[in-house]
Amino acid sequence: MRLLFIGDVVGRAGRAAILQELPKLKAAWALDCVVINGENAAGGFGITEGICTDFLDAGADCITLGNHAFDQREALVFITRQPRLIRPLNYPSGTPGGGANLIETDKGQRVLVVNLLGRIFMDALDDPFAAIERELSACPLGMVCDAAIIDFHAEATSEKQAFAHSVDGRVSLVVGTHTHVPTADHQILPHGTAYLTDAGMTGDYDSVIGMDKAEPMRRFATKLPGSRMEPAGGSATLCGVAVETDAQGLATRIAPVRIGGRLAQAWPDFWESR
Amino acid sequence: MRLLFIGDVVGRAGRAAILQELPKLKAAWALDCVVINGENAAGGFGITEGICTDFLDAGADCITLGNHAFDQREALVFITRQPRLIRPLNYPSGTPGGGANLIETDKGQRVLVVNLLGRIFMDALDDPFAAIERELSACPLGMVCDAAIIDFHAEATSEKQAFAHSVDGRVSLVVGTHTHVPTADHQILPHGTAYLTDAGMTGDYDSVIGMDKAEPMRRFATKLPGSRMEPAGGSATLCGVAVETDAQGLATRIAPVRIGGRLAQAWPDFWESR
Amino acid sequence: MRLLFIGDVVGRAGRAAILQELPKLKAAWALDCVVINGENAAGGFGITEGICTDFLDAGADCITLGNHAFDQREALVFITRQPRLIRPLNYPSGTPGGGANLIETDKGQRVLVVNLLGRIFMDALDDPFAAIERELSACPLGMVCDAAIIDFHAEATSEKQAFAHSVDGRVSLVVGTHTHVPTADHQILPHGTAYLTDAGMTGDYDSVIGMDKAEPMRRFATKLPGSRMEPAGGSATLCGVAVETDAQGLATRIAPVRIGGRLAQAWPDFWESR
Amino acid sequence: MRLLFIGDVVGRAGRAAILQELPKLKAAWALDCVVINGENAAGGFGITEGICTDFLDAGADCITLGNHAFDQREALVFITRQPRLIRPLNYPSGTPGGGANLIETDKGQRVLVVNLLGRIFMDALDDPFAAIERELSACPLGMVCDAAIIDFHAEATSEKQAFAHSVDGRVSLVVGTHTHVPTADHQILPHGTAYLTDAGMTGDYDSVIGMDKAEPMRRFATKLPGSRMEPAGGSATLCGVAVETDAQGLATRIAPVRIGGRLAQAWPDFWESR
Ligand SMILES: [Fe+2]
Ligand SMILES: [Fe+2]
Ligand SMILES: [Fe+2]
Ligand SMILES: [Fe+2]
Ligand SMILES: [Fe+2]
Ligand SMILES: [Fe+2]
Ligand SMILES: [Fe+2]
Ligand SMILES: [Fe+2]
């Protein structure tokens, strides 16, 4: 299968990159499954039902979230009727929506998508290492699902790497999100799981993690309360990772994707050229 | 000038990559100045005088440190007689060694090297945003120095980006270290400063941030005390960033460097081929 | 029932206070149940089997722990054969020992003792708010148990207070531990649960949280690695809280206990004089 | 001299306690100097000029602040014309207002008041241990000032105690604030400085650190965004500490003060009775 994961979409600039590029990429690369992290899609904070629908219409099979999942309160409601929107699995029991789902692709493949929050330097939720074991027991790769994609939304590189090794060989892809900076350590781990510490954001990289830089610069320098954070408005780089899997659901190839905006461009050389 | 910065060297595997590759790279690329972050060079924790000397002999002009600066207690002593070893500038007044130095290269160019610790998710030190202002006032780029390299050793991407924008146009390069994962967001900021959120480590990438993965995986899963952390022993990827500067000391080109080991290889295409 | 809870015993000085005072207090006040937090009893870090036995012999009915539970590795073994030693309930599943137990007192009363770790400013464990609900469902106050004592080992006052209100009326006592400083906010909450934000340590209060003050003072000032932390050796104040419960297991009286050492002395005026 | 320090006043209930009790206490105890922490006086967040004036009119000689200093933006302006309002000393250089001031009392005594923020589990500011040294050099106790009061606004008990020992014998009183819970460890340290880890808040103790308990309880349980925090409206306990100093400015007596509301009442027995 051909999988594309796209990192945290930030604000209007990020959304524009998705709507403009994703349909083309899906066709050009014959993608089987596309997952987008949408936790910052609505002005940098959360996601609305309209945005969620736009992303699905543009070709996404599933939207994941993170610590900003419910910044837009309406998400607490519409997530219950939108099974393709996934919030972190390790939120308290009773949280609206689900943290994992078996998504059926257009071609009928079954892809397990899981969203988890790390705990180092983040608000404390339940153990993601234990939570994934329960999920993978219920939905083993190659048996119940054809591919398994985990969006591990976390700050610390140590936690992301330890998590990935703990599921290596049992999922197709572990991709980190949350730092809003793409990492260059894409690799296939020893037992066959594709891994990238962070997908990076889909947003304007002349910014502070996607937000207009003036306000965060002022806060760091003065430590005083200020005005609202607003997404930066320059053109976005669509950032993510492309993975090809085999019949067992393990990864055979991985490549970074960076299209548009300020960053050095990158895309898989193992699929049809763009 | 041609500058090369190499990220946190971890243990024996990392040191071997430096000693084997650096002399060749310095010659092949006609490097004017090489800076290495050495905070994890001694078994993952700190640096010894012997290792420091080895790195300088291999072609480094300067060694920077970080939160592990003094894990090897001998560094508190030998740093006072080794001006090419720089510890974070924002340690308390009275800390042995210096946090910034004007290094003279083999060709007689003067390069300001500064090491700073970020404060988000890290032990609290004095304000790096204020500290750099004092340093740049004393040593303006293009006047007192020909190039200025800042190793901003920090966890949070937001702090690294806000810091870089705050000195954009006044230094040659701001490069982050500490997360041990190379980022793919190398760029020249609007006012001419080269920037990369993290250089990545020079170590074995089949690991948890350079350390043998079994022990950190066990700790994340069980939360119980365990055995010592040891560096992973597989072959290392030398990770860093290459920058070319103009007569004013501002950046004209930037490229990631990843040589050896598991990661996708990368090097500047704007200098002589390797 | 007459309950006494004693806060974190630190090192030799703290242990001496327990062994000297507890037998007298148990007799003088006709105590029905005594619980001691022992996470720092062994040189400030963890507990040994010998110390655990000494505390039980001195009159304790149960020993609770905290984030230092397993600093002495032997505790991972002997906790499995000592049901009166309780480690935090919200450690990962599979951790040796138990986090709650129904203790039978000398007079045959049944006391539920639960130990939980908070999560604000502490290592992330599973949700203590959810964990206590499961425990209280299984062991309702006044039905399965005659009294219920929760040692909530946590840093943040907000988390301790929110937790206490969430179980108010369903347990006899919520007492905080971990900060090593006794608070003066003992009260009976609106629905009948006795509450104290922190019991304080049983240790030398001319110290930094029980440890000899020179080394922590040096670390705060210099931020440099140093020598080992050692418990302070001056005479200890036994710190804790005394509670009387009614037939339903709810609290009717609460008083702080501070005996010996530097702190202002305090004890219940509602029981026989000492 | 007779000193009274009153901890973080929270909202309307806290302000009412100040306005009602302080004038009586000042007269009954013949207080020479009263300092109030006002960082939560305005609806729980910051302070307004009107509230500041009310407190001074009620008998305060000086108002200190904390991490909420500038939650009410108007404080950035009026602090520059109100020298009896002190914000944390270790804010970045250029912050409006001052962090230390030599206050003249009604009887003409000179009292140095300093406000500092701790750094453990708090936003990173500059080193309070270094900052106090500069201040005490400029204003030595018994020479330039008759008494010196430090409000150390911090979370961690270890930092508060290490700080107090580091100035023991050089100031009259180190009193902690910020946790909103009074501690019971009031003592005179070996070299003559009065010390209390936390003064506690002046607010309603049937709450979560002074705020209506429903919303924080909900947030801890659900981890979901909710409605605004509002101060609890029950009657407040005025919490603080009373200290008597000698001719050298060192402490001879210390006692906790808790008047009104739910907490056990306390006041100095060494001054005229109330
Ligand atoms: Fe994000
Ligand atoms: Fe996030
Ligand atoms: Fe490092
Ligand atoms: Fe580091
Ligand atoms: Fe403790
Ligand atoms: Fe503890
Ligand atoms: Fe406060
Ligand atoms: Fe505060």
CA angle at residue C106 from C103 to C110, to 5 degrees? 35
- Whole-number Å distance between alpha carbons of D150 and A61: 59
pLDDT at residue number D62? 98
pLDDT at residue number B211? 98
- Whole-number Å distance between alpha carbons of D163 and D63: 21
Among A123, A223, A225, whose Cβ lies nearest the Cβ of D71?
A225
B186 labelled binding-site residue:
no
pLDDT at B185 over 80: yes
Model confidence pLDDT, tens digit, residues D116-147: 999 999 999 999 999 999 999 999 999 999 99
- For residue C234, give Cα distances in angstroms to A127, C16, C202, C226: 41, 11, 12, 22
Contact at CB, B225 and C91, closer than 8 angstroms: no
Model confidence pLDDT, tens digit, residues C234-258: 999 999 999 999 999 999 999 999 9
Which residues on neighbouring strands pair with residue C183, listed in sequence order?
D183
- Whole-number Å distance between alpha carbons of C84 and C102: 9
Residue C216 touches partner D, C-beta closer than 8 Å: yes
3-class DSSP state of D25: helix
Cβ contact D54:D85 at 8 Å: no
Residue D222 touches partner A, C-beta closer than 8 Å: yes
Cβ contact B245:B237 at 8 Å: no
DSSP state of A80: G
Q: How many CA atoms lie within 13 A of C28 on its CB side?
A: 15
pLDDT at residue number D273? 61
Among D156, D208, D221, whose Cβ lies nearest the Cβ of C129?
D221
ipTM higher than the 0.85 cut: yes
pLDDT at residue number C10? 98
DSSP state of B102: E
D8 labelled binding-site residue:
yes
Q: How far is A208 from chain C (nearest CA, A)?
A: 26
Which residues on neighbouring strands pair with residue D223, listed in sequence order?
none
Altogether, the residues listed in chain C come to a count of: 274
Q: Is A68 considered catalytic here?
A: yes
Residue A157 touches partner B, C-beta closer than 8 Å: yes
Among D93, D120, D130, whose Cβ lies nearest the Cβ of B130?
D93
Contact at CB, A76 and D224, closer than 8 angstroms: yes
- Whole-number Å distance between alpha carbons of D162 and D182: 19
Query: Residue B125's closest CA among B156, B163, B90?
Result: B90
Query: Residue A116's closest CA among A84, A80, A91?
Result: A91
Buried b or exposed e, range D99-118, using 16+ CB within 10 angstroms: bbbebebeeebbbbbbbbbb
pLDDT at C52 over 60: yes
Query: With contacts defined as CB-CB under 8 Å, which chain C residues touch D121?
Result: 121, 155
Q: What are chain B's domains?
A: 2-205+234-259 (3.60.21.10)
Interface test with B, best of A10, A195, A208 (most B CBs within 10 A): A208
B121: nearest CA partner in chain C: C121
Cβ contact B151:B37 at 8 Å: yes
Query: With contacts defined as CB-CB under 8 Å, which chain D residues touch A95?
Result: 222-224
Contact at CB, A262 and B221, closer than 8 angstroms: no
Which residues are in the CB-under-5-Å shell of ion ligand 1? Answer: A 8, 39-40
Which H or E run contains A78? helix A75-78
B262: nearest CA partner in chain A: A187
A39 labelled binding-site residue:
yes
Neighbours of C30 (CB within 10 A): 11
Contact at CB, B184 and A221, closer than 8 angstroms: no
A201: Cβ contacts below 8 Å, ≥ 6 apart: A7, A8, A9, A10, A14, A40, A180, A181, A209, A210, A239
D178 labelled binding-site residue:
yes
pLDDT at residue number A226? 82
Residue C225 touches partner B, C-beta closer than 8 Å: yes
DSSP state of A262: S
Which residue numbers of C belong to the known binding site for Fe cation? Answer: 8, 39-40, 67, 153, 178, 180
Neighbour subunits, D (≥3 Cβ pairs < 8 A): A, B, C
Cβ contact B218:B1 at 8 Å: no
- For residue A226, give Cα distances in angstroms to A170, A214, D70, D98: 46, 11, 10, 20
Ranges of residues in chain A whose predicted pLDDT is under 70: 273-274
- Whole-number Å distance between alpha carbons of D199 and D222: 31
Among all bound ligands, the one having the nearest atom to the CA of D152 is 8
Q: Where are the beta strands (DSSP E) in chain A?
A: 2-6, 33-37, 62-64, 85-86, 100-104, 110-117, 147-153, 173-177, 187-188, 194-196, 238-245, 251-259
- Whole-number Å distance between alpha carbons of A158 and B116: 22
Q: How far is B92 from chain D (nearest CA, A)?
A: 8
Q: Where are the beta strands (DSSP E) in chain B?
A: 2-6, 33-37, 62-64, 85-86, 100-104, 110-117, 147-153, 173-177, 187-188, 194-196, 238-245, 251-259
Tell me how far the alpha carbon of residue B151 lies from the centroid of ligand 4, in angstroms: 11
Model confidence pLDDT, tens digit, residues D242-269: 999 999 999 999 999 999 999 999 999 9
Contact at CB, A266 and B157, closer than 8 angstroms: no
Contact at CB, B125 and D130, closer than 8 angstroms: no
Q: What is the mean pLDDT of residues B97-101?
A: 98
Tell me how far the alpha carbon of residue A256 lies from the centroid of ligand 2, in angstroms: 20
DSSP state of A264: P
Residue C82 touches partner B, C-beta closer than 8 Å: no
Q: What is the mean pLDDT of residues C207-231?
A: 95
C162: nearest CA partner in chain D: D217
Cβ contact A221:B132 at 8 Å: no
Q: How far is B104 from chain D (nearest CA, A)?
A: 32
Tell me how far the alpha carbon of residue B177 lies from the centroid of ligand 4, in angstroms: 7
Model confidence pLDDT, tens digit, residues C12-47: 999 999 999 999 999 999 999 999 999 999 999 999
Query: Residue D42's closest CA among D58, D28, D53, D30?
Result: D53
Contact at CB, B184 and A183, closer than 8 angstroms: yes
Pairing of strands B173-177, B194-196: parallel
B71 labelled binding-site residue:
no
Query: With contacts defined as CB-CB under 8 Å, which chain D residues touch B93?
Result: 130
Compute the 3-state secondary structure of chain B and give helix, strand, coil in percent, each to the nearest 5. 25, 30, 50
pLDDT at B204 over 90: yes
**How high is the mean pLDDT of chain B?**
97
Long-range contacts of C253-258 (CB under 8 A, 24+ apart): C253/C188, C254/C173, C254/C186, C254/C187, C254/C188, C254/C194, C254/C195, C254/C196, C255/C186, C256/C182, C256/C184, C256/C186, C256/C196, C256/D184, C257/C4, C257/C6, C257/C25, C258/C182, C258/C200, C258/D184
Cβ contact A7:A249 at 8 Å: no
D153 labelled binding-site residue:
yes
3-class DSSP state of D208: strand
- Whole-number Å distance between alpha carbons of A56 and A245: 22
Contact at CB, D92 and B127, closer than 8 angstroms: yes
DSSP string, A146-209: SEEEEEEE-S-HHHHHHHHHHHTTTSSEEEEESS-SBBS--EE-TTS-EEES-B--BB-SSSBT
Per residue, the 3-state secondary structure of C69-135, as one string, reads CCCCCCHHHHHHHCCCEECCCCCCCCCCCCCEEEEECCCCCEEEEEEEECCCCCCCCCCHHHHHHHH
- Whole-number Å distance between alpha carbons of D34 and D208: 27
Query: Residue A211's closest CA among A237, A238, A229?
Result: A229
Q: What is the mean pLDDT of each run of 10 residues along chain D (274 residues)?
A: 98 98 97 98 98 98 98 97 98 97 98 98 96 97 96 98 98 98 98 98 98 97 91 98 98 98 97 70
Instruction: Give the A window 93-132 contacts with D, CB below 8 Å.
Output: 94-95, 123, 125
Q: What is the mean pLDDT of residues B183-200?
A: 98
Contact at CB, C222 and B71, closer than 8 angstroms: no
Confidence of residue B273 (pLDDT cuts 50, 70, 90): low
Among D120, D126, D129, whose Cβ lies nearest the Cβ of B127?
D126
